[in-house]
Amino acid sequence: MQTALAFIVIFGSLVFFHELGHFLFAKRAGILVREFAIGMGPKILGITKGETIYTVRLLPIGGYVRMAGEDMDQVELQPGYRVGLILNDQNIVEKIILNQKAQYQNILFMEVERADLAKGLWIEGYDEDEQLKRFSIARDAVIVENGNETILAPYDRQFNAKSLGHRSMTIFAGPLFNFILAFFIFIVLAMLQGIPTYEPIVSGVNPNSPAEQAGLQPGDLVTEINGDKIEVWDDLTAAVQSSQLQPLDVVVERDGQAIGLQITPEIQEVEGKKVTMIGITYRSPVEKTFNPVKVITYGAEQTYAGATLIFDALFKLITGDFSIDDLAGPVGIYQHTDEIAKFGIYSLMYWAAMLSINLGIMNLLPLPALDGGRLLFFGYEAIRGKPVDRQKEGMIHFVGIVLLMLLMVVVTWNDIQRLFF
């Protein structure tokens, strides 16, 4: 139950902040946002506030912000179409009713002759007395079909009507907010857990290891190896890895005294790989601080380090050093969350930050249907001087969505096999 709750909170937070980036920048650009959705597939819950419906959907595989003008959502009233109009006190159309007109009062019936629901905002047609009438349409008018109301989107409130800069920032804001979320999680971790100092202080010594045989003890501060100063733990590991199994002259500080030891590294197999080791364990000491400079610096460094790890994994995937079988989908992420939850809330927070960075980077890949793919089209538009045909671009993104769904099926199947077989 705790794992399920942790997974829901982490997944929901990552998707929420990603879509929040799209949402806020769309609103800032004046774009009409029709829906803010967490999850995909059938709707579980929906709440309408203002001009946007906020929904939670069944499948935990993402989310979306649906903006006016993106998905051919405009209604076209063809000549001869019979509609019902509801006017305000200034004889401006507030509602255009496409069917089920009998349930409305004070309705004006019209057979449409012409209409402009995007730029001009007017409708013209014949009333029941066969008189040609023309009415202006309110900018916030609604279209009613089968009892469902859809807010009209004037052209200047549609996504494609905005400048290239506004459209690009609206799309880029999703991944950007994932990086910002990770950054703030690391800042909170720094304040609650402390900032690692990475001092080379030995946490533990493995039995019968070269370190134990040489007399190394937990709590020893390693200061020198072969005459070179050791300032952080990475210096120690680098010296061991480059030793070529030759004896190391190690100086440690113990109870205020300098003690010289000689340790000969050995080869051990770890997860199928041969690694040079001396048999010690390490957990960095931490500095508890609320110094804004230190915690902000730590947040930025950890966000950068996390991004570097993910880019490295992507590179290995491209070069074949990393198999597609090693990728994890929602089932795999749930399983990892279950394992990480055993180590406490701080580990879960770190896991959430890394997942947020991963989501941001994955969405920036220049692939159809992803944010990076859309930004690639915008870049092409900037070079070409005019946008790509919307139908062609839409078809490319559709193919991308299909391929991503197939990849999700393969990854999920691999997750299930690892979990149950």
d(CA 265, CA 276): 6
d(CA 186, CA 168): 28
Q: Note whether 118 and 158 are within 8 A (CB).
A: yes
What tokens were used for 414?
């691999």
Q: Note whether 68 and 32 are within 8 A (CB).
A: yes
Supply angle C-alpha 389, 390, 393, rounded to 5: 85
To the nearest 10 degrees (0 to 180), the angle between helices 2-28 and 330-341 is 120
Cβ neighbours around 176 below 10 Å, total: 19
d(CA 146, CA 150): 11
29: left (phi over 0), alpha (psi -120 to 50) or beta: alpha
Q: Note whether 355 and 333 are within 8 A (CB).
A: yes
Q: Note whether 365 and 404 are within 8 A (CB).
A: no
Helix and strand numbers (H, E) in the chain are: 9, 18
Supply angle C-alpha 309, 315, 318, rounded to 5: 145
E-state strands within 173-219: 195-196, 204-205
Residue 124 annotated in active site: no
d(CA 155, CA 192): 49
d(CA 26, CA 334): 32
Nearest alpha-carbon partner for 152 in 138, 133, 135: 138
Largest CA distance in the chain: 107
DSSP 146-184: TTEEEE---GGGSGGGS-HHHHHHHHHHHHHHHHHHHHH
In the chain, the amino acid numbered 74 is Q
Q: Note whether 192 and 278 are within 8 A (CB).
A: no
Beta-sheet pairing, 148-151 with 122-126: unpaired
| Per annotation, catalytic residue among 19, 76, 113, 271 | 19
Q: Would you please indicate which residues are annotated as catalytic (active-site) residues? A: 19
